[in-house]
Structure 1
Amino acid sequence: MSFDPPAQQPVYLPPAATPPRSSSGGFVFAAVGISLAALVGLIVLGYLALALGASVLVIGTLLALVPLAIVLLAVRWVDRWEPEPRWALWFAFLWGAAVSVAIALLVDLGVQLAAALTTPGGTSDEIAQAVVQAPIVEETAKGVGVLLVYLFSRTHFDGPVDGLVYAATVAAGFAFTENILYFGVSLAEGGAGELGTTFVVRGLFSPFAHVLFTACTGLALGIAAARGGGAMRTVGCFAAGLALAIALHALWNGSLAFADALAMYVTVQVPIFVGAILLTVFLRRQEVRVTRTRLAEYAAAGWFDAGEVAGLSTGAGRRAAIAWAKAQHPPRTAAVRSFIVHATKLAFTRNAIATGRADVRRLADERALLDAIVADRRAIMG
């Protein structure tokens, strides 16, 4: 991969007058959203401490970190080509781990109180809670978090892969807190034996269950973003994705309640999981194609040379560029990484502009990214 300056004088695409300033609404949303979600998280943590006890809470948390790490490593792999901003991912995680859990707990409390008032001495229907209430409430709560990222961070929500990343991050947060509760209750009520069984089932056999459910909502919103979603398209895609998420969640919980759980796991859940992996690989390849196609347009205008486009459009080329920087001048490695990130974001920004999905913020982002690439070149060349 070459980092020599392009031979011809580059021009902006499209020719730019003074571009409008990029909106800072996303950062304001992040600051407020993260602060509120963190506050709710402290309340949820206090509830868990009271319900489980400090020692059980610590054990449950340590065990819940195992499936969380598995899921987050997978999310990082999916998000590696065009990484999402950390603040958006932190909001997504905290929404899932705190706000979604709080909503589910409050609804569950309300249902139990309503059952107690309408049927004194009776108990709530646990199967109905698992197959109907939990899928509807939990998927709606998680889906709203993904929708908020979509609405307030449209610049960073380009397509299905972004929707998948945000949905998986929200789901990872929710599953983390839920696992703490399940592991803690298992230990408190059944001892180490029941805890071990629960950990194997939830932590090792099905760490991606919530991710698969909520991914339906994220992918649907990603499709809306890729097609230039107006209000009606956004609502329709969100509703369709949420309905599928609820259906899959109900199928999963129903298989545990009504059918042979192992048979359902092997014949239904595993094929769905494999299909999700294949879909993710396909979407990742689409991202590569978008990068190659749009950077070639900038190359025609003199911003990149053919070698750079080829290198930036493959994982091997990117790794080779980073290895080159480490071998030639290690301090320049950060500049090479920055060059790769900015070039990739530029390609997706250009794709939004070329497909008619851009607003004034995209034009401002394009100009800012081109300026950042110039600065990256200077840093690389020393």
Structure 2
Amino acid sequence: MHPGHPAAELPGFGMPRSARRGSAGVLNVLLLIAAAAVVAGVGMFLFAALGSEAFLLCGILALIPLGICLLGLHWIDRWEPEPRGALVFAFLWGAGVSVAITLLLGSMVNEVLMTLLPLTPADVVATVVQAPLVEEVAKGLGVLLLVFVRRSHFDGPLDGIVYAGVIGAGFAFIENILYFSAALLEAGSIGLQLGFVFVLRGLFSPFAHVLFTAAIGLALGIAVRKPGGGRIAAGFTAGLAAAVAGHMFWNGGMALVYDDFFLFYFLMQVPLFGLAVAGVAYLRKAEQRLTRERLSEYCAAGWFTPTEVQMLSTADGRRRAVGWSAQFGARGPMRAFIREATNLALTRQQLVNGRDPRRNAAREERLLEELTRTRESLLQAAVSRRE
């Protein structure tokens, strides 16, 4: 006998789930292929423009700040990991599509801005106005696309920050190759000039593009919690405005306000980064509380025990559970159980908010079925170990 289902209504109509998931899977694969093709095109363009030595050397150097960014985003994403395919697409969009858009439209937009701002120096227009505007629009379009093609997983502020951050990291990776190569080619050899640019961009400010684009992801993540296309449009507009403003401030700080980079860095950039870290930590705690609240509803309906809810809603409880399951070779099923339960809690939250009820009710049913099977495999592994 199965426990009572806490959802008000289960979908028993419409297209079968397998067909809906299959069509969505085909679309996501096609998008991945298209984005990968654009990245390949950008790579070939840079290889031809910079030369093989500069491209390869500076590409290796650019992997260091990229790794720093991805490690930070992995920490943010640990509670409810996003699908790898979606993260790969986000990176490809940042490193390929957004770069291509910037290269294609940057000069045209700059000419328009020069006409509109005739008294502003050309270098200020290009650096402080055009670059932030074009680059944030190019990156932000990728975040907006993910809202629609990954709507089952793009369900809150942290999801938006992670997807947007990966897009920003991809864009920064290519931009760093360009900046490092410019320093190398100008100096004619590896030396202080390349080292200085690497330290400033790669070590002192690797998260710059991540932070700018994260503003778009944060705003969209808040917007998608409740239904309505108007909320998404408003969220995108607000997030884009914040991203462009932050980018303008970043690029214009040295040129227009401060003469000393390190003074600007420690007085302005370090506090902003600290504020961002504090905000992410708060959102992680909020997501843990939400997990406990929603799983407690399933506990009351008989789907979970109180002990399971306690385990699933704390980081320490999850670590202990994975360690316990490793004793009988069931680390994989335990991680699957944790992942499915977290997805279930967030799906339940979407149902409570009235977002896409038909799709989310079907996903809720599927997750409950998967959880039941995963729990059975865990119990069988534990019993086999005792025997």
Return the TM-score normalized by structure 2: 0.91
Aligned partners of 2:136 and 2:213 also within 8 Å: yes
Counterpart residue type for residue 320 of structure 1:
R
Q: 1:40 to 1:58 in 2, by over 3 A?
A: same
| Aligned counterpart, 2:152 | 155
* Contact kept in structure 2, 1:98 and 1:174, CA below 8 Å: yes
Looking at structure 1, the residues matched to 218 and 109 of structure 2 have their Cα atoms a distance apart, in angstroms, of 31
1:316 and 1:252 map into 2 onto residues whose CA distance is 38
Change in Cα spacing, 1:169 to 1:115, as seen in structure 2 (3 Å) is closer
More relative contact order, 1 or 2 (CA 8 Å, 6+ apart)? 1
- 1:178 equivalent in structure 2: 175
Shift of 1:319: 0.5
TM superposition shift of 1:159: 0.9
Write the letter of the residue equivalent to 2:70. L
Aligned to 1:197: 196
Which residue of the other structure, out of 230, 238, 241, is the alignment partner of 2:239?
241
Whole-angstrom CA distance in 1 between matches of 2:182 and 2:132: 21
| Structure 1 range deviating more: 100-109 or 175-184 | 100-109
Aligned to 1:206: 205
Letter of the 1:163 partner, please give it: G
What is the deviation of 1:113?
A: 8.2
Following TM superposition, by how much is the alpha carbon of 1:127 offset from its aligned partner in structure 2, in angstroms? 2.1
Kept after mapping to 1: 8 A contact 2:36/2:96: yes
The Cα of 1:360 is off from its aligned counterpart by 1.1
Q: How many equivalent residue pairs? A: 366
Mapped contact 2:46–2:55 kept (Cα < 8 A): yes
Give how far 1:262 is off.
2.2
In structure 2, what is the equivalent of residue 357 of structure 1?
355
Partner residue of 1:128 out of 125, 129, 132: 125
1:16 aligns with 2:36: no
For 1:169, the equivalent position in structure 2 comes to 166
1:49-60 matched pairs, under 5 angstroms: 49-60=47-58
The Cα shift of 1:270 comes to 1.2
- What amino acid does structure 2 have at the position aligned with 1:208? F
What displacement does 1:188 show?
Answer: 1.1
Cα distance in 2 between the residues matched to 1:17 and 1:109: 51
Given the alignment, which residue of 354, 375, 378 partners 1:377? Answer: 375
Measure the CA separation in 1 of the matches of 2:84 and 2:163: 11
Look up the match of 1:319.
Answer: 319
Deviation per residue, 1:155-179 (Å, 9 max, x gap) = 1111111110111010010001111
Q: Name the counterpart of 1:121.
A: none
- Residue identity over aligned pairs, in percent, reads 47
What's 2:141 paired with?
A: 144
Shift of 1:28: 3.0
Shift of 1:151: 1.6
* In structure 2, C-alpha distance between the alignment counterparts of 1:238 and 1:349, rounded to whole Å: 22
CA separation of 1:342/1:216 partners in 2, compared to 1, >3 Å: closer, same or farther?
same
Deviation, 1:269, is 1.4
CA contact (8 A) 2:113 2:130 kept: no
Query: What SS does structure 1 have at the residue aligned with 2:224?
Result: helix
Structure 2 gap ranges (5+): 115-120, 381-387
Deviation at 1:359, TM superposition (A): 2.4
- 1:244 CA drift (Å): 0.8
SS of the residue 2:325 aligns to: helix
Using the alignment, how far apart are the partners of 2:32 and 2:11 within structure 1? 36
Contact 2:227 2:353 in 1 (8 A): no
Conserved in 2, the CA contact under 8 Å of 1:19 and 1:364? no
Which residue number corresponds to residue 95 of structure 2?
Answer: 97
Distance 2:53 2:269 in 1: 34
Q: What is the rounded CA distance, in whole Å, between the counterparts of 2:375 and 2:201 in structure 1? A: 48
Q: Mean Cα displacement is larger for which, 284-293 or 17-26? A: 17-26
Alpha carbons of structure 1 residues 79 and 206: separation in structure 2 relative to 1, 3 Å:
same
Q: Distance in 2 between matches of 1:108 and 1:280?
A: 32
Aligned CA-pair RMSD? 1.9
Residues 42-98 of structure 1: per-residue CA shift (max 9 Å, x gap): 110111111111111111111000000100011111010011111111111100000
Shift in Å, 1:34:
1.0
1:37-76 matches, within 5 Å, as: 37-76=35-74
Distance 1:88 1:333 in 2: 24
**Mapped partners of 1:133, 1:26: distance in 2:** 36
Counterpart CA distance in 2 for 1:79 and 1:114 is 40
- Is 1:255 equivalent to 2:249 in the alignment? no
Cα pair distance change 1:186/1:229, threshold 3 Å: farther
Q: TM-score, normalised by structure 1?
A: 0.92
Partner of 1:221: 220
User: 1:12 offset after TM fit, Å?
Assistant: 1.8
Q: Secondary structure at the match of 1:154?
A: coil
Give 1:188's aligned residue: 185
Corresponding residue number in structure 2 for 1:270:
270
Of residues 163-172 and 259-268 in structure 1, the stretch that sits farther from structure 2 once superposed is 259-268
- In structure 2, the CA distance between the partners of 1:201 and 1:13, relative to structure 1 (3 Å rule), is same
Contact 1:75–1:169 (Cα < 8 Å) also in 2: yes
